[in-house]
Amino acid sequence: MDYGFVKVASAIPSVRVADCRYNVEQMLPIIKEAEEKNIEILAFPELSITSYSCADLFQQQLLLKEAEKGVARLLKETLNYNIIIIIGIPIPFAGTLLNCAVVIHNGEIMGAVPKSFLPGYSEFNEERWFTSGKEVAEGTKIKLCEQEIELHQLQLFRTPSCTFGIEICEDIWGPNPPGIQLALQGAEILFNLSASNELAGKHKNLVEMCRQHSIRCIAGYIYSSCGFGESSTDLVFAGNAMIFEKGAILEKSKRFCMESQLMISEIDVDYLRHCRMVNTTFAASRNDFLSRTVAITNIEQKINNTCELTRKFIQNPFIPSADVLDEICEEIFSIQTAGLAKRLQHTNSQNCVIGISGGLDSTLALLVAVHTCDLLKKERSTITGVTMPGFGTTDRTYRNAIRLMEELGITLMEVPIKNACIQHFKDIDHDINVHDVTYENAQARERTQILMDISNKKNGLVIGTGDLSELALGWATYNGDHMSMYSVNASVPKTLVQHLVRWYAKNIASETVRTTLLDIVETPISPELIPADKNGNIKQKTEDLVGPYELHDFFLYHFINNGYTPRKLYFIARNTFKEKYDNETIKKWLTTFIRRFFTQQFKRSCMPDGPKVCNCSLSPRGDWKMPSDASYALWINECNEL
């Protein structure tokens, strides 16, 4: 597929034990459906041709011959198919029997991968029938369906889209799974053909193990385990088709289903390559395995350039799912609090000084400061909240700022800035009726000067209130609200701030404080630097000027964490926000994001210290290092070509 996605699928067919012809008949319509849906690689369960639970029947020559005939039938029926198919069969080899995964493409067998680790415990005594693939010498060739093929336990298959490798069931349960070696040698996607029975509580462990394996390997992981139709003499197989991408579960089948299932999703190989490139631990680990011989098979698969996604990207990637939202909010708030506590102790600061606007960001910073004082057993009066009404301050934000400070019991100061700014405009010969960038920035810098001077007077620390989204867009006045002595919100994105304030309101705040906080959450985001309208309402709304923060946070997350190009950002944003924004709107704000992100780097190059709370940070000291004068020509040109 295009955009770096590889469309994969995990299939669970219905089977009959030891009935190869029936099993192939069940697989063919699944393969046909997958081909029609432009799936590039399809995996079936372990020993899918024979069924897994044949037991001593595996030692019957008739079954083994019928299994090979089943493969021949699949080769014939898929002769003109573009899809790559991975099936499971028993293969006789040198007087032994191997449990193998066989890769098929366009009527040819591309290779066979024998199972490395064989369970010897009672439920799965595979050692009774099979030999470990580790016993197969390097460079071994075998004949299957009159074709000479590679037989190797560590085998990479390269297509024009990706490189993939194969594990079989028990392989993942061992302390040194083959998938780790395959990933370090270049496999970006791993397939596991499995037969895992159901036990109470086992499924949760299985899912978590596959998820962690995909994280450790920085890979896509496609798991296919047999289901209905396997023998129930002693065990029950519920059928598990799961697709993972570096820890994220993209698709998961229904268990205990009596119908065949086909789970489809797209693995973002570009993203995985980006993650491996920036993860130096992964690169360093490769040296441990470079001496191991890996067989490489090239598959000349045609690439379908039409990209139709089945997977979903969440609109707010920084916001945790509802089931863990409270837990994550508490954790983030604790990180912010611990960071500020350490900074106060280290600097021996007696007070905190915060500019309180009645908006979300300053509210969150104040809540962190209050909680820190409580933690350090300091009086809340050591926090000085300063409200500095200016030309654009509205009654709603002013009242909320005053009310919040009073209700939290901190020291309140009010320092109006109008007269100071008017005098400043006279000093620099600026027309007060011209509401340009000078008019706005003069107010922001006046407020910062006030906070810094009060801080000096009180032996205090100026607590910054700006958030991650503002840093990304440069939506801060240089040496104005851009500057502080410790910035507690520096890695909290705008879309998450309101959830943190809401969490505090629900779980910690008193009833009166809760009411004020919830009204602040509902207040439009604004710097309030332009006079209000005739009704006293906010006239200058940030999102009208720079675009919706939910779009910018979406762009930021995937640009920084995944290394997405503008073309890919536009593609996934169109798919994700198609019900909310038209294509032109998305393109407009994407172009704005790229332009501002590059041109405003100089503000991030000298940003204050602040705690990292999310997996995305723009600190020039540890996370994002970019020249302040880097050209954005390549990125803007791609935006213009959309």
Least confident of 352-366, 540-554, 590-604: 540-554
Residue 93: CB partners within 8 Å, gap ≥ 6?
A: 114, 131, 136, 142, 151
What pLDDT, on the 0 to 100 scale, is given for residue 173? 84
Closest CA to 358 of 348, 366, 350: 366
Least confident of 33-42, 225-234, 418-427: 225-234
DSSP bridge partners of 35: none
208: exposed, middle or buried (C-beta count within 10 Å: 0-12, 13-18, 19+)? Answer: exposed
The rounded Cα 287 to chain-centroid distance in angstroms is 27
Please check whether residues 287 and 350 belong to one and the same domain: no
Please check whether residues 399 and 517 belong to one and the same domain: yes
- Catalytic residue flag (residue 342): no
Please check whether residues 265 and 377 belong to one and the same domain: no
Please check whether residues 465 and 606 belong to one and the same domain: yes
- Catalytic residue flag (residue 568): no
Q: Report the number of distinct structural domains present in the chain.
A: 2
216: exposed, middle or buried (C-beta count within 10 Å: 0-12, 13-18, 19+)? Answer: middle
Two structure tokens written together for 318: 């920084």
Please check whether residues 332 and 388 belong to one and the same domain: yes
- pLDDT, tens only, 297-316: 899 998 877 778 999 999 99
Please check whether residues 257 and 343 belong to one and the same domain: no
Which residue among 40, 46, 66, 550 is the active-site one?
46
Which residue among 7, 115, 587, 603 is the active-site one?
115
Tell me which residue has tokens 């899918």. Answer: 48
- Catalytic residue flag (residue 373): no
Please check whether residues 200 and 71 belong to one and the same domain: yes
pLDDT band at 393, cuts 50/70/90?
Answer: confident
Question: Looking at the domain assignment, is residue 603 inside a domain?
Answer: yes
pTM for the model stands at 0.90
Question: Looking at the domain assignment, is residue 317 inside a domain?
Answer: no
What pLDDT, on the 0 to 100 scale, is given for residue 539? 53
Closest CA to 156 of 192, 119, 188, 134: 188
What pLDDT, on the 0 to 100 scale, is given for residue 497? 96
Range of 385's domain?
Answer: 325-640
Question: Looking at the domain assignment, is residue 319 inside a domain?
Answer: no
83: exposed, middle or buried (C-beta count within 10 Å: 0-12, 13-18, 19+)? Answer: buried
Q: What is the mean pLDDT of residues 92-111?
A: 96
Question: Looking at the domain assignment, is residue 305 inside a domain?
Answer: no
Question: Looking at the domain assignment, is residue 239 inside a domain?
Answer: yes
Question: Looking at the domain assignment, is residue 309 inside a domain?
Answer: no
What pLDDT, on the 0 to 100 scale, is given for residue 540? 53
Better-predicted residue by pLDDT, 165 or 288:
165
Which residue among 20, 54, 145, 169 is the active-site one?
169
Better-predicted residue by pLDDT, 547 or 288:
547
- pLDDT, tens only, 355-379: 999 999 999 999 999 999 999 999 9
pLDDT band at 284, cuts 50/70/90?
Answer: confident
- pLDDT, tens only, 543-552: 778 899 999 9
CATH number for 189 = 3.60.110.10
CA distance linking residue 50 with residue 28, whole number of Å: 15
Please check whether residues 52 and 135 belong to one and the same domain: yes
Backbone dihedral angles phi then psi of residue 150, each to the nearest 5 degrees: -80, 135
Please check whether residues 293 and 379 belong to one and the same domain: no
Please check whether residues 167 and 209 belong to one and the same domain: yes
Question: Looking at the domain assignment, is residue 31 inside a domain?
Answer: yes
Two structure tokens written together for 264: 């489809």
Please state at what angle helix 583-599 crosses helix 566-576, rounded to 10 degrees.
140
What pLDDT, on the 0 to 100 scale, is given for residue 212? 95
pLDDT of residue 167 exceeding 80: yes
Please check whether residues 444 and 538 belong to one and the same domain: yes
CATH number for 358 = 3.40.50.620
Question: Looking at the domain assignment, is residue 304 inside a domain?
Answer: no
Please check whether residues 292 and 333 belong to one and the same domain: no
State what percent of residues in the chain have pLDDT above 70: 96
